[in-house]
Amino acid sequence: MNKRTAEYWINKLQLASHIEGGAFREIYRSPILAPLPALPTGFPSDRSFCTSIYFLLQQHQFSAFHKIKSDEVWHFYYGDALIVYEIDQQGQLIEHRLGCDPENNESFQCVIAAGNWFAARLAPGSEYALVGCTVSPGFDFEDFELANQQELIATYPAHKALIQALTIN
């Protein structure tokens, strides 16, 4: 079988442009709600228990630094290796390699902790990666914050070059 192209997946899965970069489509939103009193501090209203999306990045794209109020599990599906960069609350940079080659330190899943800044781009030599993201409590744009480049650099100056490369502003 020939390798599928990024355009094939964008069309087949009906993906649309995402504000942080790349293309996506929500594929699941739990109809069961977690009530506000059961959620951690900081959530403004009830949330679905879980949400899930398809997400695709191509060579010329990146997922800009952002954070959300929930844990996010990334799943590798198809294509080439992807690097997800996570800056934890102490300022430590963690690089997660998603892909299907364990001999190259790639794994099928990684977890980004709630409240940590994260971004993604393809590993060198990659053409595209098709992944999925599962968020619990479920994703809501009220919980999404796109990084301000200067503010993020001021907070984490050790990661200035990476932040400059993976922010929109």
Query: Given this model, what pLDDT does residue 3 score?
Result: 83
Instruction: Return the CA Rg of the chain.
Output: 16
Give, in order, the Cα–Cα distances in Å from 3 to each of 8, 78, 85, 158: 10, 9, 27, 39
- Does residue 169 surpass a pLDDT of 90? no
> Which architecture characterizes domain 6-35+45-165 according to CATH?
Sandwich (2.60)
At 109-122, the pLDDT tens digits run 999 999 999 999 99
Alpha carbons 105 and 140: distance in angstroms, whole number: 32
The residue written with tokens 């190259």 in the block is: 104
pLDDT > 90: what percent of the chain?
A: 97
Average pLDDT on 103-110 reads 97
Confidence label for 27 from pLDDT (cuts 50, 70 and 90): very high
Name the pTM for this structure. Answer: 0.95
At 57-101, the pLDDT tens digits run 999 999 999 999 999 999 999 999 999 999 999 999 999 999 999
Burial 50-67 (b: 16+ CB within 10 A, else e): bbbbbbbbbeebbbbbbb
- Does residue 35 surpass a pLDDT of 80? yes
Cis peptide before 31 (omega within 30 of 0): no
Query: Given this model, what pLDDT does residue 1 score?
Result: 52
